[in-house]
Structure 1
Amino acid sequence: MSTTPYDDPETPEPLEALLGDPEDRDNPFSFDAFLAADDRGDLLQAGERALDAYGLGSEFVPVRLGGRLDRADRLARVLRPLFRRDGSLALGHGASNLVGSVNVWSQGSPEQQRWLADVLLRNGRVAAAYTDMSTGNDVAHTAFRGELRAGQLVLSGRKEIINNLARAEAVTVLARTSDAPGSRSHSMVLVDMAAAPREKLRFLPRYRTSGVRGMYLGGLEFLDCPLPASALTGTAGQAMETILRAFQVTRAVLPAAAVGMADQQLRTVTDFAVHRRLYGRAVAELPHARSVLVGAFLDLLIADCFATSVCRALHLLPGQTSVYAAAVKYLVPRLFHESGQALSVVLGARAFLREGPHAIFQKHARDLPVASLVHAGGTVCQATIIPQLPRLARTGWLGGEAAPAAVFDLSSALPELDFDRLGITAGRHDPLMGTLTEAAARLRGEPVLGALCKRLTDELTALREACGELAPRDRTPLAGPVSFEIAERYAVLLAAACCLGVWLHDPDRSGAFLREPAWLAGALSRLTDRLGRPPVAGADAGEAAVFAELMRRYEDRRGFDLTGRRLV
C-alpha cells in the first residue's frame, strides 16, 4: 500500500516549490517567462531543464520498474503546478509521456517495459500516434497500417498531428493490421526512433495552434518502414482492448491535473476583483462578481471531488472505472470552460490582454480547450459511456452497494496501480450510484441537503426509465442525441455522488470548511441546476461562508482545490 501525498498541507507540492512564485518577474519560471515562450511558439527551455533535473520522467514509470508511479491521484497532484503555469509544458513534457506509455505498462512485454522505463528515467520523450487529422479521436480509422513480412513488422501510412514527435525517442503507434471488420483488426506498436531506418521515415511540417502554442505538433509518414516483430505491443489485434483498459488512467489523471489551470484562472480574477474598485467598493463586493467567484470555486471543488475520486477508484474499483473515467474526461473540461467564460465577464477587457498582471488568464483560456481535446474529446467519452448505461441502469442503480469510503478519503492508503485489473467495461455494478442513494437515505429529512439529494435520486429514477426506452441503435456509439444527453446527465450524477462521498467520508484531512454543509449544498445546487431540476429553498444560504473561504485561501496563498495546500 502506498503512502498518502497529502500529509503536510503547509508544505507546497515539490514542483510548486521548485518552480517558485510565478508572479515574481525575476523568477526564471514566472508567468511572464511562460507567456514570452508562448508568444514565440516554444516551450520554456529553462522550465524543461528544471523538470529534467527534478526527474519528471520517473513520475510516469511504475514503481516496479524503478519509477515513482504508484497512485493516480498522486500523479495528478504532481502535475498541477505545471498546469497552473503553462499548459504547453504540462502537455508537452508531461501528458505526452503519460499517454504514450500507459499502453506499454498495460500490455507490453517485459523487455519493452524495461526499455521504455529506461527512456523515461533518463528524461527521454515519448510520443503517442493515435489520432488523425481527418477522423480525430476515432482511433479505429487510423491511417497507419502494419503488415508482418518475413519476420518483420512493416509500417506504412501518415499522421499529421503527433505531439512531441520531433523530440521523441519512443513512439507508440496504433496501426491497422487486418482488413477484417471488428475490434481485432488493430495492434499497438512501440517504435524505437533511433533504430528505425531514417530513409523509411518522412517528418511532416509542424502544425501551429491557437492554444498551447509551445506544443510541437508534427506529422510522420512511414514509408514501408521495417521494424522487428518484437515491436508489436501485446498480441496482434489486441490494441482496442488495450486502449479501453489503459486510457482509463489518462482520462482520469489529466482532468484532475488540469485543476491547476482552473485554480489559476480563479486566482487571477479574484486578485483583480479584490483590488479593482467600482462604485466606491471592491469589485469582489459587488453581488454579481461575488456570485461568479463563488460559482467558479464550487465548480473547481466539484471537478476535484469527481476527478480525484475516480483516480482513486482506479485502484479500488478497477472493474468499474471504464465508464467513470470517460465521464470525468467529458464533464470536468466543460465545468472549467464554463466557469472560465463566467470569470472572463468579471475581468472584462483584461481577459484578452497578453501582457500585464492578468495576462495568464487569456493564455489559460486559449490553452484549456486544446488541452481538453488532447487524447480524448468529449464526444468520444460519451460514446464510451452510452453502450454501458442500459445494463447499469437495470442492475447497478437504485439499491446497489456503495463505493468503499477509501475512494473518497484522501488520507487513506491505496494499493499500487495495477493496469491488469482495469476492466474493459463496467459490468453490472455502479458503486458511485450506490454512494448517491446511500447518502440520500442518510440525509433524508435534512431540509436542504436532503431535498437536494431527493432531486438527484429523482433524476436517477428518470434516467433509469429513459435507458430502458432506448432503441437498440441508441445503445451504441452510433446513437442519436437522446443517448448523448443521457450520458451527460449520468456524468453530472456521478459528480454529485463524488461530492457527497468526499463530504461524508473525508472528514479529517480537508479542513473545517469542507466538513461544513455550505459548500456541499452549493455544489449540489449547481449540479441539480445543470439537470434542469427546480431549485431548493435555502441552498444558497451558505454563499457567504463559501466566499469567506475563497478569500481566506486567496489571502493565505492556498490552493482552491480539496486539500487547500499552501502555494509558494
Structure 2
Amino acid sequence: MVTRPATGGPAALAETPAPQQREAAVQARVAELEALLGDPTDPGNPCGYQAVLNADRAAVPFSRGEGLLDDFGMNREFVPSRLGGRLDSIDTLVRVMRPVFRRDVGLGMSYGMMSYMAASDVWMAGSDAQQEWLAGSMLRGAKAAIAQHETAHSNQLVRSQVAARRADGGGFLLSGGKPVINNLARSEALVLFCRTDPAPGSRSHSVLLLNPGELPADRSRIVPHQMPVGLRGNAFAGVEFDDCPVPESALLGPVGSGIETALRSFQISRTVIAATALAAVDTSLRTAVRFDHEHRGGGWGGARSDSQRTDAAATGAFVNLLLYDSLALVAMRAIHLLPTQTSVYSAALKYLLPRILTETMYDLSIVLGAGFYTREGTLGIFQKHVRDVPVLSLGHAGSVACQATVIPQLHRLARQSWFVEDDAPAGLFRPRAELPPLRTESLSLACGRDSLSASLLSVAAAIPGRSPVERALRGLAGQLVEEFRDLRDRVLALEPADRTTPVGPASFALMDRYALLLAASAVLGVWRHNQDGSDPFLADPAWAAAALHRIARRLGAKVPDLPGECETRLRHEVHVRFSAQRSYDLYNTPIPG
C-alpha cells in the first residue's frame, strides 16, 4: 500500500515533515510504475512476460516496454534534481528501477542502466555546460552510451584500443575502436574512455563526452554486434575511428583523469547494477513458487520428500535474497553516509552477484524440474532471467576487477580498522530512512576504514537469548566474530611481497571470506536497527539467523542446525508474500501479478 500524507487538506500536507513527503513520493512513483507495467502473467498484457519473451526471441528491443517507460518519464530518474530531474539518492534510483528489472533485465539495462552509467560520469566530472547539455538531452527522452572496457583484452581498463592525440588545430584525433557498446547506435551521448598518453601510469587515460551523430561519417563507423545468449534484445554495436576529429570541449574532466574518474564512478555503477539485479531473482523465486503452488493441487502439500525439497529450495532462495539485499542496502546508503568507505562495499556486493544470485536461480530449478526448459508463458521468464543475470557480472566491473579493488586494501584495513573502528551509523541499515545529498567528490579510492564490520562485533555482543532463535543467532554471530578475527590474523601474516603483488591464491581466498563477513555484518545491522515495529518480519531474528547460518556454512564453519521455528517462519513468509503479491526484498513492496 502506498503511504500517503495525513488527510485534512493542504494545511495537513504542509505540516508533514519533508522526509515523509519524499518517502511518500518515492512509494507513489514505484506504485505508479508497477500499475503501468500491470500483471506480468496476463497473456494479454502488452508489457507482460509473453510480450517480453516475444521481443527476446526476435532479438529486438522491447519497444512496448520502452514506450511505457517513456510515458512514465523514467529518464528523469537518471538526472539530478538540481538539473531538473528526480535523482536525489542511489537508494531511490534502485527502488524505482527494480520493477523494471523484475519484468525484464534487458529492458532495465538498455533503457535505463546504460544511460545512467554514462550520465553518472558526467554528473561526477563534467563541466556545467556538459552537465546541462546532457541533462537537457536526457529529459527529452534521449539515451546515452558508455565505452570503457576492452573485450579484446579481458576487459582490462588500461589497455584501451582507442587513442586520442592532440590535433594541430586544437582538439583531438581519435584512432582505434571499441567493439561492444550497448545503445551506441541510438544514443545522443557517448562517454568514451581513451588513451591520451602512450606512457603507462595512472594519468595515461582520459574521458570524452561525444555526440555520435555529430562525428564525421568518413572518420567514424558504427559496427553492429549481437549478443549470442543474454540481453539479446539490447542494441549492441562497436565503433571504429580513423583520425576522427573531436573538439577540446569534449574532454570530460582534466586530461589524464580518466582512470580516477572511472574508479570512482565504478563505486556507484557497481552498486546500482548489483542492487537492481536482485529484482530479477525476486521474479524467479515467485515463478518457482507459483509453479510449485499450481502443481501441488493449489497448496504446499503433496509427497513429503518432494515437499521438503521444494520448500527448502524456496526458503533458501528467500534467505539468499535477504542476505544479498542487506549488503546491497548498505552499499547504496554508504555512497551517501560513508562515501570514503564505499569502494570496499560496492566491490564486495558486485563480487557476490554471481556467487549468490546466479547460484540461487539455478537452485530454484529444483522446484521447476523439467519446467526449467520452458521458453513460453509464465515459466519462460525464468529461463530468460537465467540467461540475462550472469551478463551483469561481466565487464570491467566483473568479479576479478572487484577482487583487484579490495585485495590491495586488506592489509591496511586489518592493521588500522578491523576491531578498532567505530560502529556504522544506524541509518546505514534502515531501508526508508532519510539520506543526505549525494557528494560524489567525497568518494575515495581507498581510505583504510571499514565501519560496517564493526557492526558485526557490536551487534553480536548485544544479542539477547530470550528464545531458541535468538540464542541460535547469538551463537552464529559469535562464531562469525571468531572467523573475522582469524581473517585479520591471516591477512596480517601475509608476507610483504604478497601485499605488494596480491596475486597469490591466499589473497583471493581471504577476499572471498571478507566479502561474506561484510554480508553477515549487513544482515546483523539490518536486523538490529529495524526493531521499531515498522516491519515485524525484519525485526524477527529468524531470517537473520538463517542468513548467518548460510554464511557460516559457506565459510566452512561447523554450525548446529537451526531451531525448527526458523524454517517455519521463513516458509510462512514466502507463502504470505506470494499470496499477498509483495516483493521478496527488504522493501516488501506491493507488486502486480
Which interval holds the TM-score relative to the shorter structure? over 0.9
1:147 aligns with 2:147: no
Question: Residue 250 of structure 2 is aligned with which of 231, 243, 260?
Answer: 231
Q: What is residue 413 of structure 2 aligned with on the other side?
A: 392
Distance in 2 between residues matched to 1:251 and 1:448, nearest whole Å? 34
Change (3 A) 1:276 1:299: same
1:484 aligns with 2:484: no
Question: Residue 266 of structure 2 is aligned with which of 224, 239, 247?
Answer: 247
Distance in 2 between residues matched to 1:19 and 1:282, nearest whole Å? 37
One-letter amino acid matched to 1:382: Q
Question: Residue 437 of structure 1 is aligned with which of 448, 452, 457?
Answer: 457
Change (3 A) 1:398 1:213: same
Moved more, 472-481 or 183-192: 472-481
Q: What is residue 222 of structure 1 aligned with on the other side?
A: 241
Give the SS at the match of 2:524.
helix
Q: What is residue 559 of structure 2 aligned with on the other side?
A: 535
Distance in 2 between residues matched to 1:81 and 1:202, nearest whole Å? 36
Give the SS at the match of 1:438.
helix
Change (3 A) 1:179 1:23: same
Moved more, 469-478 or 307-316: 469-478
Question: Residue 97 of structure 1 is aligned with which of 115, 139, 143?
Answer: 115
Structure 1 length normalisation: TM-score? 0.96
1:121 aligns with 2:139: yes
Native 8 Å contact 1:79 1:257 kept in 2: yes
1:367 aligns with 2:388: yes
Distance in 2 between residues matched to 1:221 and 1:444, nearest whole Å? 63
Native 8 Å contact 2:127 2:253 kept in 1: yes
Q: What is residue 377 of structure 2 aligned with on the other side?
A: 356
Question: Residue 81 of structure 1 is aligned with which of 76, 99, 104?
Answer: 99
1:28 aligns with 2:46: yes
Give the SS at the match of 1:194.
helix
Change (3 A) 1:540 1:497: farther
1:202 aligns with 2:221: yes
Native 8 Å contact 1:273 1:283 kept in 2: no
Question: Residue 316 of structure 1 is aligned with which of 312, 337, 340?
Answer: 337
One-letter amino acid matched to 1:397: W
Residue pairs, 1:137-536, within 5 angstroms? 137-150=155-168, 151-277=170-296, 281=302, 286-373=307-394, 376-425=397-446, 427-443=447-463, 447-475=471-499, 479-508=503-532, 511-536=535-560
Change (3 A) 1:204 1:273: same
Native 8 Å contact 2:149 2:395 kept in 1: no
Change (3 A) 1:9 1:204: closer
Distance in 1 between residues matched to 2:564 and 2:547, nearest whole Å? 10
| Superposition CA RMSD, Å | 2.0
* 1:444 CA displacement: 7.0
* 1:14 CA displacement: 2.9
* 1:194 CA displacement: 2.5
One-letter amino acid matched to 1:85: R
* 1:537 CA displacement: 4.2
Structure 2 length normalisation: TM-score? 0.92
Moved more, 69-78 or 2-11: 2-11
Q: What is residue 70 of structure 1 aligned with on the other side?
A: 88
Change (3 A) 1:132 1:108: same
Give the SS at the match of 2:361.
helix
* 1:8 CA displacement: 8.8
Give the SS at the match of 1:174.
strand
1:107 aligns with 2:125: yes
Native 8 Å contact 2:409 2:448 kept in 1: no
Q: What is residue 14 of structure 2 aligned with on the other side?
A: none
Change (3 A) 1:6 1:527: farther
Deviations 1:203-259 (A, max 9, x none): 113223201110111110111111111111100111111111122111111111112
Deviations 1:275-294 (A, max 9, x none): 21399717897111111111
1:39 aligns with 2:60: no
One-letter amino acid matched to 2:554: R
Distance in 1 between residues matched to 2:571 and 2:113, nearest whole Å? 33
Deviations 1:349-397 (A, max 9, x none): 1111111331111111111111222551111111111001110011111
Distance in 2 between residues matched to 1:222 and 1:260, nearest whole Å? 38
Deviations 1:118-150 (A, max 9, x none): 111111111111112212331111111111223
Give the SS at the match of 1:542.
helix
Distance in 1 between residues matched to 2:150 and 2:434, nearest whole Å? 40
Q: Tell which has more relative contact order, 1 or 2 (C-alpha 8 A, sep 6+).
A: 1
* 1:24 CA displacement: 1.0
Distance in 2 between residues matched to 1:174 and 1:136, nearest whole Å? 16
* 1:43 CA displacement: 1.3
Deviations 1:138-170 (A, max 9, x none): 111111111122311111111111111111111
Question: Residue 50 of structure 1 is aligned with which of 68, 83, 93?
Answer: 68
Distance in 1 between residues matched to 2:580 and 2:529, nearest whole Å? 26
Native 8 Å contact 2:281 2:357 kept in 1: yes
* Percent pairwise identity: 43
* 1:21 CA displacement: 0.9
* 1:333 CA displacement: 3.3
Change (3 A) 1:540 1:171: farther
One-letter amino acid matched to 1:90: G
* 1:479 CA displacement: 1.2
One-letter amino acid matched to 2:130: Q
Change (3 A) 1:57 1:506: same
Deviations 1:484-539 (A, max 9, x none): 11111111111111111111112347521111111110011011111111113435
One-letter amino acid matched to 1:233: L
Deviations 1:76-104 (A, max 9, x none): 11111111111111100011011111111
Give the SS at the match of 1:207.
coil
One-letter amino acid matched to 2:206: S
Give the SS at the match of 1:567.
coil
Native 8 Å contact 1:10 1:565 kept in 2: no
One-letter amino acid matched to 2:48: S
Give the SS at the match of 2:42.
coil
Native 8 Å contact 2:288 2:368 kept in 1: yes
Distance in 1 between residues matched to 2:369 and 2:28, nearest whole Å? 34
Native 8 Å contact 1:14 1:78 kept in 2: no
Native 8 Å contact 1:305 1:498 kept in 2: yes
Q: What is residue 10 of structure 2 aligned with on the other side?
A: none
Change (3 A) 1:510 1:154: farther
Moved more, 242-251 or 534-543: 534-543
Deviations 1:433-480 (A, max 9, x none): 111111111127652111111111111111111111223443357512
One-letter amino acid matched to 1:161: V
Distance in 2 between residues matched to 1:194 and 1:116, nearest whole Å? 14
